[in-house]
Amino acid sequence: MTIPPRSPRHLRLAAHAELISLIVMLANVFTIHLKPISSVMGPIHGCAYLFVVIATWRLKPAPAVNIAALVPGVGGLLALRLLDRGDAAVGQQT
């Protein structure tokens, strides 16, 4: 029995940062709507999203993982789930 490789730690951190920043931004918009929170969380969310997409792409997984990573907000967590399931072979050569 082989154990599938775990996804990289940096991808896990970025995926969680992406989701948490989206939750904070949406909570801010639907409650008090403070502009400083929006101006800080927007770039954090955008950077985390881009980091997830690029980090996933650099792993060279199956195409389904790359497509999952493109979903804003939860794409990083979806990609991590696919990677940890072992359905997507990390490090495939094209």
CA distance linking residue 36 with residue 45, whole number of Å:
14
Phi, psi of 70, rounded to the nearest 5 degrees:
-80, -10
pLDDT of residue 80: 94
Is the pTM here over 0.85, yes or no? no
CA distance linking residue 74 with residue 39, whole number of Å:
21
pLDDT of residue 94: 47
Q: Average of pLDDT values for 2-20?
A: 84
pLDDT of residue 85: 86
Over residues 47-92, the pLDDT tens digits come to 999 999 999 999 999 999 999 999 999 999 999 999 988 755 555 5
2 pLDDT higher than 90: no
